[in-house]
Structure 1
Amino acid sequence: MSSDADTETGTDSGTAVGDARRHTVVPGPRGLPFLGNLPRFAKDPLAFFEQLRGHGDMVSWRFGRNRCVFISDPACIGELLTETERTFDQPALGIAFRTVMGNGVVVARGTDWRRKRSLVQPSVRPKQVKSYASTMAECAVELADTWSGGERVDIKREMAALTQRIAVRTIFGVDTPADAQAMGRAMDVAQQEIGKEFSGIGAILPDWVPTPGRARIRKAAAVIDAEVARVVARHRDGDGERPDLLSRLLTAVDETGAHLSDEEIRDETVTLYIGGHETTSSTLVWAWYLLSRNPEARAVLTEELDRVLGDREPGFDDYAQLTYAQSVVKETLRLYPTIWLVTGVAKEGARIGGVPMPEGTRVWSSQWATQRDARWFPEPEAFRPERWDPEGGDEIEEYAWFPFGGGPRVCLGTRFAMVEAVLILAVLARRFDLDVDPGEIGHVPSLTLQPDRDVTATVRAR
């Protein structure tokens, strides 16, 4: 993302990270030989992280044979995020993740990462996001026009189809069903298999060990590769300048005058697709769920939409005025962060909270655990969008809320995701209330944090 990324991650509105808190590493739960704490982690990663938080702010544990430290204090999290690329490396992620993501900007390290970031970043700067805003709103209007009062809808499926349509149009510049359907099916398989491998025995198996899941991920990646290659070829054969993200990537050059290679184009396109589709889709599902469970918050949102928009559809210029809608999205991301963990590997000389981290130590933190900590968020389980009010809200400590990461590797698509979620919410909530069926909805921590079942709702026209 651009230099305004901190505005979107909330670090400008919180208190500065302090250095008054002192830390020591305390032992976590006892693990098993060879496996360490992997069985407990695999059973429920988020519950395991909350258990670690209960031991202290800096807790030792083992992921297989890997020496690990879990941190949950915002000051320490800030150190981890801001020191990535200096005293911490990106970890070598599993074979399933690498098969899908390749070596894109999320995975790359060092000089390679800096080069790719400089090439991708201009495509998602505020000026460019503004040009995509009309597509976001138009796609949401198209969906709204198909709904009617009293209708029953599967919100999970509807939000996935909507954000997929937006991603296909803004990234690829195409809008044919075949493109969306083929990519969507492959991405669904990829997300499921990455989640299974990451939290299962596959996380510690050598890359060369064949498993059914790895076979499925290779098949899905082949579909993704073919779709991207076909669209790239279409772009290169076309005439004139196109406004989509892919076209901007194809024309980007680094300081030596070199373009991204075909393989690099593929990797960055997939990264942008996942960031612009999967994360926003799940955020919106959780937002509708929370609004349905909290009618007072829903009433405040609709009042703002009526006051700011009246009878017209939203555009990019309305984003700044829709402060409560932004707060709804931020509070949703606090309770249900789509990206639920960050991790780094200590280099020589690394320290966290004044404590030396031996080289090779894997340092973990979880948005889920820290963002539900009562020390940083009063009534942490409550859905309270007003805590984000820019004038009368709570003081949020820096890095207590970090759904988009932070530091030099903050998510490049932060503004894209925030604008997309707010505009979609505005288009649909201006016309309808969605009454989600009673009953609690669980979560599945795969590549992103997903609901554990279909989320069905009754559409009620306003």
Structure 2
Amino acid sequence: MDTEVGGDVGAGVRPRRHAVVPGPRGVPMLGNLPQFGKDPLAFFTLLRERGDMVSWRFGGKRCVFLADPDCIGELLTEAEAGFDRNDLGISFRTLLGNGVVVAKGADWRRKRSLVQPSVRPKQVRSYAATMAGCAVELADRWSDGQRVDIKREMSALTQRIAVRTIFGTDSEADAEAIGRAMDVAQREIGAEFRGIGGLLPDWVPTPGRARIKKAVKVIDAEVSRVVAAHRGGDSERPDLLSRLLEARDEAGTRLSDKEIRDETVTLYIGGHETTSSALVWAWYLLSRNPRVRAALGAELDRVLGEREPGFDDYGQLPYTQAVVKETLRLYPTIWLLTGQAKEGSTVGGVPIPAGTRVWSSQWATQRDPRWYPDPEEFRPERWDPDTGDDIPEYAWFPFGGGPRVCLGARFAMVEAVLVLAVLARRFELEVDPGEIRPVPTLTLQPDRDVLGTVRGR
């Protein structure tokens, strides 16, 4: 596994080293877990600087970290043939159950075929009016000089969109109850995953596992109540839950109540948590980059004028899309992907022993200077198809890729672009001074409240 298989490259570009090189030394029993747990993002960056394929140990488990886009592409596109989904712990499974993100093999293929029609482009188009409408409601409540908690505002907004599009209801109580429980679940999943709790057997009770069970009970109760209200209701309702309840597989079988619950929670996380986080980071970056803020405003003025955006405007707002893409590059909501090698697996021509956990990190690869000149700079222009950077496939993968690409990717992109267009057309947000650091929980979250001042344009 130590043989170099990469080819020659141009001057000034680090070679792609398709060979497994050793990572930093670990400690007995725990391996590199202390380093990983202290700061996973810094640890993955360190591994990327060691090479494109780096060995390390998560406790007693053998791992390989991938930094090269070609290798990451193999991990993602061979997700079913060469790699199993990794078990990310009891807290993760407690929240997501056995939904499409977790399921394997034939069970995964069946669930994907049942869920996918609910988030196809035609369906996303039908949700666009709700996305923009909720953002308009928020914009109408803002005023020049108003102080806001940006994280709370974006979370409440995307919760409202999720509750309306997924559940077909407009109850603020629903959004608040699920949102509070989801915040607890996120924190506990991140804490268990980064710490020694991730090495404990499922049956070992811990305070964190007790907290996530309590939070999931709240989520399950709300989902069950809404599902019961949908049963026997109008089958033509446009919300995602109604479509899931009507879906049938090739044998004519519908999703069970447990499967409905799992897929609903998965869609909620994709439609709320990821977009909320991306919008918070976008405002943070825009506040610190007046040039980008001005270019965004110019596009919105040119395309929209005094009207609000709709789905048909999505394709007419390339710079707004680029702002979202660049935000997701620097602060990817989903910050790692992992799989487990099957018998006969290879990556980059290198055999990977069965059972090895194979990792990649959007955070590390999407800040690699080989693919992104001045990688720490917020520069949406790098996504211009004519003049932007030459970015390899799978050097940007905030939604994963291959057969297991996030089903809600288009939903999330359209939502983020339309919400940003509505709000940034009318306002700028001056985020309070001070660095905000990312905290890797289930998603990448700010380490503190994000406070700012609304300024009318």
Instruction: Compute the TM-score of the two structures, normalised by the length of structure 2.
Output: 0.96
State the distance in 1 between where 2:48 and 2:232 align: 54
Pick aligned residue for 1:357 from 352, 360, 363:
352
Give the match's secondary structure for 1:89: strand
Match of 2:151 among 135, 147, 156: 156
Aligned to 1:313: 308
* Contact 2:329–2:396 (8 Å) recurs in 1: yes
The answer for the alignment partner of 1:403 in structure 2 is: 398
More displaced stretch, 126-135 vs 388-397: 388-397
> Structure 1 residues 32-41 or 132-141, which shifts more?
32-41
Is 1:130–2:128 an aligned residue pair? no
Select the residue among 234, 257, 262 that pairs with 1:262. 257
- Give matches, 1:42-57, under 5 Å: 42-57=37-52
The CA distance in 2 between the partners of 1:37 and 1:120, in whole Å, is 38
2:6 aligned partner = none
1:271 aligns with 2:269: no
More relative contact order in 1 or in 2 (CA 8 Å, sep 6+)?
A: 1
Q: Does 1:209 align with 2:204?
A: yes
Give the drift of 1:393.
1.3
Once the 2 structures are TM-superposed, how far is the Cα of residue 390 of structure 1 from its aligned partner? Answer: 2.2
- For 1:36-435, list aligned pairs within 5 A: 36-435=31-430
| C-alpha separation in 2, matches of 1:240 and 1:130 | 19
Q: What residue number does 1:3 align with?
A: none
SS across alignment from 2:35: helix
Q: SS of 1:153's equivalent?
A: strand
Structural RMSD (CA): 0.8
Q: In structure 2, how many angstroms separate the alpha carbons of the residues matched to 1:285 and 1:128?
A: 26
Q: CA deviation at 1:237?
A: 3.7
| Offset at residue 238 of structure 1 (A) | 2.1
Per-residue deviation, residues 43-77 of structure 1 (Å, max 9, x unmatched): 00000001111211111000011100011000110
Task: Give CA deviations for 1:164-190 in whole Å, capped at 9, x if unaligned.
Answer: 000000000001122111111111111
Post-superposition CA distance 1:149-175 (Å, at most 9, x none): 001111000000000000000000001
Q: 1:443-458 residue pairs with structure 2 within 5 A? A: 443-458=438-453
Where 1:61 maps in the other structure, the secondary structure is strand
- Contact 2:16-2:52 within 8 A present in 1 as well: no
Aligned partners of 2:99 and 2:266 also within 8 Å: yes
Q: List alignment gaps of at least 5 residues for structure 2.
A: 1-14
Deviations 1:279-326 (A, max 9, x none): 000000000000010000000000000000000000000000000000
Partners of 2:403 and 2:232 in 1: how far apart? 36
1:323-351: per-residue Cα shift (whole Å, max 9, x none)? 00000000000000000000110001000
Cross-structure match for 1:9: none
Q: How far, CA to CA, are the matches of 2:382 and 2:33 in structure 1?
A: 36
SS in 2 for 1:23: coil
Share of identical aligned residues, percent?
79
2:37 is the counterpart of 1:30: no
Q: Secondary structure at the match of 1:68?
A: strand
Say how many residue pairs are matched: 443
Secondary structure, counterpart of 1:411 in structure 2: coil
Taking the aligned partners of 1:394 and 1:58, their CA distance within structure 2 comes to 24
- Secondary structure (helix, strand or coil) at the match of 1:458 reads strand
SS of the aligned residue for 2:141 comes to coil
Please give the alpha-carbon distance, in whole angstroms, between the structure 2 residues aligned to 1:412 and 1:337.
Answer: 17
SS in 1 for 2:445: strand
1:327 & 1:247 partners in 2: Cα distance? 33
Shift of 1:33: 1.3
Structure 1 counterpart of 2:184, which letter? V
Residues 66 and 358, structure 2, Cα contact 8 Å, conserved in 1:
yes
Structure 1 residue 21 displacement after superposition: 4.3
